[in-house]
Amino acid sequence: MGQKWRWGVILDAGSSGTRLHIYRWKDPRKAIKNATPEELRSLPKLMTEKKWTKKIRPGVSTFGERVKDVGPEHLQSLIDHALSIIPEDKVHDTPIFLMATAGMRLLPQAQQTALTSEICSYLQRNTRFSLPDCDLHVQVIKGETEGLYGWIASNYLLGGFDHPDEHQHGKGHHTYGFLDMGGASAQIAFAPNATEAEKHANDLKLLRLRTLDGQPSEYKVFTTTWLGFGVNQARESYVRNLEDRYADTAAELPDPCLPKGLRTTLEGNIIEKRKTRATSLIGTGQFEECLQLTYPLLGKDKPCEDNPCLINGQHVPAIDFDVNHFIGVSEYWHTTHGVFGGKGDQAYDFATYQKRVKDFCGRSWDDIDSGIDPGHDFDRKLAQEACFKAAWLLNVLHEGIGVPRIGFHEGLSKANVSKSALEAAKNKGFADPFKPVDKIDGIEVSWTLGKMVLYAAGQIPPASGNDKYPVGFGSNVEGTPPDFQFAGSSWEPFRYHGNSTHGSIDDDDDWDLDAEDILDHAKTHSTTGFFAFVFILLLFLWFFRKRERRMRVYGRINSIIRRSRGRPGAASRKGSGSRGGFAGFASKLLRGNPHGGYERVMEEGDADRFELGSTHETDELNDYSDSSDGITPAGSGLLSSKSSTMGLSRLGLSSGLATPVTDHFHHSIASPTSSALDRGGLVVRTDSKERLMLPPHLALAGVGRRSRAASPTRLKSPLMSPLHQET
């Protein structure tokens, strides 16, 4: 029995911890069965639940010096959680990926290689998950790749791939840009407008997806990463700058990005009471100064070798914010919400957000700390870091990337969108140039979702055999470039091995059809009944096109009528006259010979007088036997004494005549009461009444016998191969 669900496991090995994500989607072979035209033009629908995720700390990168411990001490708890969710019989068919991001990128190459090798070996030794290729399933991914996966996830959830006409941003563009910021790095990914895409074609990635109907979809996306520009790495750079600034003047360094009166170590640990002479930080709560001191970290003064550049001298095509609307995840969400955000906010409003940040950061630490429940160290940490993170985000967003400082309603007035799309955007806030998000339609926006969408799309067979390009991404060139990153999945032609006599396709059926056949099935299901009726009608007319076949059916019906009346021969005597009743009607319908010429009539015979001779039955020949009327195809036939229990349709086929049980073969042929079986099942004709009344010497001389060559029994079915004539 088939299983309609496919599963996937991916481990996001970040700098602060590793998070397990589990996704589920319907097998494309099943999803296509009852799919609507709209669904056929969409990507596979992935699902996840909150309980299908789990995060543990610290990150994989902390095992750089003790790689053998990463499996039992770190990964095993995540594996156990995955096994508690995924059905046992699906584990072997479930791919598992571990993809490390910024934290691992900071390790020396030798430690990266040792860790990824040990992780793959541990998973292969201790789990039954599908992991055929270590290099593909366990890797340290580039920031550009992480950004591209995030771009896929964002547009997947927002419908950027499925309904471009419903959210047209103008200038022939309908996808959304993606911004991500973690602890160690920040990413950007977007599809530039047509002018910029042509100008910077060599800087773009070519992404290939495949919708449920097997049609390819291609997108040209720019993506880049800024390693060291995540909030934690940026904070470390900021503290070093403070040390350089005040190195010769004080042991306590004034920090305008900390709430007033808060004292911490350089590493960020809160100092309750001063017990050391080590250099420390003391908060001043001056947010405007905090903005000024974090701005230089953007590296805007770095030389730009390929204009235009945004941050740290890295090239980025010009962003048209009338076209490119961005969503921001991770720190973009946590920093704009959490401490500062209102739960009912529909969009990011620069003026409102900046006012909230200033009000919070101007308060004393004692005032802030009094509102935090005792023992909630995590909340204290958030409050401690909130001001720096807010300043860094504002600088990156507006000074670095260049997002306009506008409010929600102003953004709507400038956005070039259709009326229906505008209403939808108002509800979600996606008509604004930037919106921080955590979930869309209840699903967390994570780059891991983008990776699994790509994998699921790779399971769909192409609609055309000429579509040779795989699902994945690589350099923006024709064909499949050398650096192409494959989806990690493979597809097989849909196969059908079901036992349904009607050829129906159920959720539990296997398949033996290609994609186009199944699409036709899904689209033309309503016409199946009509064509079935036409087929049966044509089959009926073809079967009765030959006169001898009509005679066989008539003979059987006539025999049944005589037996039911209890007077053998009565029906035939009556039929020879007026041809009344059912026999008369059947005669007119089936016999079709009003002139009373030669007719083959199937007589009641002694079927058990014959047995199977040597024969070599084949399925191919048996497939041609009729199952309803006891008639076999024209050709050599053998009848067994067991045939009476199986029906005449089970006659054995061989090259030879029926073999009688007795040795009186000629006598049985001459007997007027013997069974009449020709080479297609009836091998002997009944002699005419005139011949039977001749004297014996004339009968033996052949007087009155019709020619064998003229016999209707010599006619062959056009579906059967020529018979080997006996010599």
Query: Residues 201, 220: contact at Cβ < 8 Å?
Result: yes
Q: Cis before residue 216, ω within 30 degrees of 0?
A: no
Q: Which residues have a Cβ under 8 Å from the Cβ of 649 and sit 6 or more positions away? A: 625, 626, 627, 628, 629, 630, 631, 632
H or E stretch at 40? helix 37-40
What residues form DSSP beta bridges with 653?
637
Q: Are 199 and 316 in contact (CB under 8 A)?
A: no
Instruction: Give the chain's largest Cα–Cα span.
Output: 146
Residue 547 is encoded by which pair of tokens? 């006169």
The CA-atom distances, in angstroms, between 718 and each of 630, 634, 704 are 19, 9, 31
Specify whether the CB–CB gap between 571 and 561 falls below 8 A: yes
Catalytic residue among 146, 196, 331, 444: 146
- C-beta of residue 544 within 8 angstroms of C-beta of residue 591: no
Distance CA 438, CA 50 (A): 13
Rounded-to-10 torsion of CA 688, 692, 696, 698: -30
* Residues composing the chain: 727
Residue 520, SS3 per DSSP = helix
| Strand ranges inside 560-700, DSSP E | 610-611, 637-638, 652-653, 659-660
Whole-number Å distance between alpha carbons of 43 and 244 = 53
- Asked if 155 contacts 149 with a C-beta cutoff of 8 angstroms, the reply is no
Residue 146: active-site member: yes
Query: Going along 86-240, which residue ranges are E strands?
Result: 96-100, 138-140, 177-181, 185-190, 205-210, 216-227
4 phi and psi angles, rounded to 5 deg: -85, -15
- Look at residues 106, 166, 185, 172 and name the one whose alpha carbon lies nearest to residue 140: 106
Amino acid (one-letter) located at 719: L
Strand partners, 270: 264
Question: Any idea what the Cα angle at residue 226 is, between residues 221 and 227, rounded to 5°?
Answer: 130
What span, in angstroms and rounded, lies between the C-alpha atoms of 629 and 545?
A: 16
Tokens 């056009």 belong to residue:
718
Residue 440 phi/psi, 5-degree rounding, is -130, 120
CA distance 78 to 128: 14
How far apart (Å, rounded) are the C-alpha atoms in residues 524 and 119? 49
Report d(CA 169, CA 165) in Å as an integer: 9
| 27, 3 contact by CB (below 8 A) | yes
Dihedral sign computed on CA atoms, order 395, 400, 405, 411? negative
How remote is the C-alpha of 509 from its chain's centroid? 17
Chain Cα centroid distance, residue 417: 31
- For residue 165, report the phi and psi dihedrals to the nearest 5 degrees: -70, -15
Burial class of residue 448, CB neighbours in 10 A (0-12, 13-18, 19+): buried
Spatial distance between the Cα atoms of 208 and 476, rounded to a whole number of angstroms: 11
Q: State the catalytic residues.
A: 146
